[in-house]
A and B are shown apart, each in its own frame.
Chain A
Amino acid sequence: MTTDVIEQDSHDEHHDDHKMQGIKRWLYTTNHKDIGTLYLWFAFIMFLTGGALAMVIRAELFQPGLQIVEPDFFNQLTTVHGLIMVFGAIMPAFTGFANWMIPMMIGAPDMALPRMNNWSFWILPFAFAILLSTFFMESGAPNFGWTFYAPLSTTYSNGSTAFFVFAVHIMGISSIMGAINIVVTIMNMRAPGMTYMKMPLFVWTFFITAYLLIAVMPILAGVVTMLLTDTYFGTSFFNAAGGGDPVLFQHIFWFFGHPEVYIMILPAFGIVSTIIPAFSRKKLFGYSSMVYATSSIALLSFIVWAHHMFTTGMPLFGELFFMYCTMLIAVPTGVKVFNWVATMWRGSMSFETPMLFSIAFVILFTIGGFSGLMLALTPADFQYHDTYFVVAHFHYVLVTGSLFSIYAGAYFWLPKWTGNMYNESLGKWHFWCSLISVNLLFFPMHFLGLAGMPRRIPDYALQFADFNKWVSIGGFAFGLSQLIFLAVVIKCIRGGEKAPAKPWDGAEGLEWTVASPAPYHTFSTPPKIED
């Protein structure tokens, strides 16, 4: 696809100077680039917050016995760590990418619903302020795990349930508004000539993810509402004494929860599918198969939820059904992995930081995928269930999967966002420190889990001590390595080598046809798309 940009409307350039100054610029902004920036910074701050909680968890687990925190506070740490990383770091980071990149990639002047866009960002800080404020209350923060199973979150709640529920409601509303905006933008604002099958794969993955969000975030809102009325208004949705069923909670939660985990990985597929071709200097192998694979993963995600519940006493037929459906997901996922490898095959590859993170993504995400396949096997899952093997699995897909793709994307587009090249050697330091420490952090967890160490426990048997020490060292090293990224970003914003419009010679897409840094308004006149 070659592109031509019709000369930029000088009218827009003229208006550049009229954006508001200071805090008001950010509070009132309806500009997709400003809002994208806000989302990305918010996500990074939340990432550091959730990371700080993880550091305390790892410090407690550094040696057996109770050292630093009380068991109840430990439960609060694991719960809030999970909630913040899922809803505060990974999801807003992807929304930030969507806001920044989608309009530029499809040749649109802005998101379709700019005012709603402002609102969907600005309610987020309130949600997390409510959630984090519970740490400073007498009753403490939510301590029932990020999956908030009833009756832990109802009958046995420490009183934080209402705050938790309202925080989740606000996060949900924010996500739904963001998703609606993405769908409307992609459906109605594409430049003339950009058919669906000519959209960059990045846009496709966000399109599908947005649909998933619209479908399942309301389910989450519903289930937390039931939790609220069960806890405070005497209903019995999940209370056996009143005719309810606690297992029903798990069914509804995971009906949301499984699509949710794909919400956190499909955009990652989009980002690496953009970066790998750029640094292999080849077109993406099997574009249309990528589109169909992404769609089938999204559809399959609705019929596999009970694989999180094999140990609840399901009948054999149910276990087999969910096992086979889950294993079926490995097929489209395999298509994607092979396509990425085929894209790199005989390409003239170079290894700048975005590419390093993308290659690490392909390998490490595949490891996470394989441990997922192991967990999908019903008989084996009875051993792995609620052990560190599960923790290892989802951290491989979420940290070395989603997070690494976010880093890859951030390095890839930083020159476009800031107008300056980032410091390549600092970037490489960040990559190698992260790569080594993240594997030291999460790989031994597989062994701990297979040996039977349960998750969400502040103390453990002596035989787990050595591995846990290494895991904690890896954890501290990984946490510190992320500060290198902060340094890279700040350095890059302050200055550095000026970036040309298209700093990566192999990159494709409309975003590289505008100047770096991207002007405040782009594509007020739609670009012309040629075949």
Chain B
Amino acid sequence: MNEGDELQNLNNKNSSVTKQNNKVVKKLMLIVFGMFGFGFALVPLYDVFCDITGLNGKTSTTAAAYNVEQIDTERVVTVQFISRTAQGIPWIFEPMVREIKVHPGERKLVKFYAKNESSRDIIGQAVPSVSPGLAAAYFQKIECFCFTQQPLKANEEVEMALQFYVDPELPEDISTLTLSYTLYDVTGKVES
């Protein structure tokens, strides 16, 4: 406590220093809280940034309108389909066609097969991702089972439709697109 007294004396001697200290501390605390907030702000910023630039291979979560005027028959793009199930969902989930060739602008319909192999009802949600990531913005889904959740009763099986076209604006250097679906168990999670 003597030390405290001594510091007190020192501080009284330099009460202007104490005031100055408090001012700096306040400013620094503002930076601290600002940066804590910035960490959380990065979450929406990242989504917006990826949305604009199409960097992370995320495709649109809503249906695209088909309004292509000219099908580019000169070009052929290979579209590959892959699927996987996340840990803990006892479903079979696979594309019925592994790979198709399309002309940019051409509409195509493919089917995915899913079967709930367990003896309980499960709601599944497929999350798509396109590789290379920059091509995601040019992969347009007119109809997709990934837009909604898929409830399957025990042992129920289903064929799910995906209708899409590849935007003719697709950069020249991309000749193969890979669409990957991961299926998650969302039973009991909030319906979105």
Contacts and interface: CB of A to CB of B under 8 A. Distances in A.
Given A31-B3, A218-B33, A223-B39, A184 B28 contact: yes
Nearest to B3: A30
A216 B39 CA distance: 9
A88 interface: no
A183 B24 contact: yes
A15 B32 contact: no
A214 B29 CA distance: 8
Nearest to A180: B28
A486 interface: no
B44 to A, nearest CB: 10
B134 A221 contact: no
Interface in B43-90: 43, 46, 50, 53, 55-58, 86-87
Given A18-B2, A30-B3, A313-B133, A222 B55 contact: no
Contacts of A156: 87
Interface in B150-192: 182, 184-186, 189, 192
Contacts of B29: 180
Given A248-B46, A313-B57, A314-B55, A189 B17 contact: yes
B35 A214 contact: yes
B21 A184 contact: yes
A25 B30 CA distance: 33
A310 B101 CA distance: 30
A188 B24 contact: yes
Interface stretch (A197-205, A233-241, A452-460, A500-508): A233-241
Interface in A211-228: 214-219, 221-223, 226
B35 A180 contact: no
A114 interface: yes
A219 B38 contact: yes
Interface in A231-282: 234, 237, 240-243, 245, 247-248, 251-252, 255
Nearest to B183: A241
Contact of B24 (A184, A247, A315): A184
B10 A113 contact: no
B125 interface: yes
Interface string B111-143: 000000000000001010001111000000000
A390 interface: no
Contact of B35 (A216, A241, A314): A216
Contacts of A217: 32
A318 interface: yes
Contacts of A237: 43
A313 B39 contact: no
B36 A218 contact: yes
A215 B38 CA distance: 10
A248 B20 CA distance: 40
B46 A251 contact: yes
Contacts of B57: 313
A248 B4 CA distance: 47
A15 B42 contact: no
A240 B184 contact: yes
Contact of B127 (A113, A214, A215, A240): A240
A412 B73 CA distance: 76
Interface string A288-331: 00000000000000000000000001110010000000000000
Q: Is the contact region of chain A dominated by helix, strand, or loop, or is it mixed?
A: helix
B138 to A, nearest CB: 14
Contact of A222 (B25, B39, B87): B39
A110 B2 CA distance: 15
Contacts of B34: 218
A112 B28 CA distance: 14
A19 interface: yes
Contacts, number: 110
Given A218-B35, A242-B189, A252-B42, A19 B20 contact: no
Contact of B32 (A19, A187, A218, A318): A218
24 contacts: A15-B2, A30-B7, A31-B3, A180-B29, A183-B24, A184-B25, A187-B24, A188-B17, A188-B20, A188-B24, A218-B35, A218-B38, A219-B35, A222-B36, A223-B39, A226-B43, A241-B184, A245-B50, A245-B56, A247-B56, A252-B39, A255-B42, A314-B133, A315-B132
Contacts of B40: 222, 226
A313 B192 CA distance: 29
A19 B4 CA distance: 10
A392 to B, nearest CB: 31
Contact of B182 (A15, A30, A240): A240
A446 B189 CA distance: 47
Contacts of A155: 87
A187 B26 CA distance: 14
Contacts of A218: 32-36, 38-39
Nearest to B22: A184
A455 to B, nearest CB: 24
Contacts of A248: 42-43, 46
B92 interface: no
B184 A183 contact: no
Residue among B17, B29, B32, B56 with most chain A CB within 10 A: B32
A524 interface: yes
A251 B42 contact: yes
Given A18-B2, A30-B3, 12 more contacts: A29-B3, A109-B10, A180-B32, A188-B17, A214-B32, A219-B35, A223-B39, A240-B182, A245-B56, A313-B131, A313-B132, A318-B55
Nearest to B190: A234
A524 B10 contact: yes
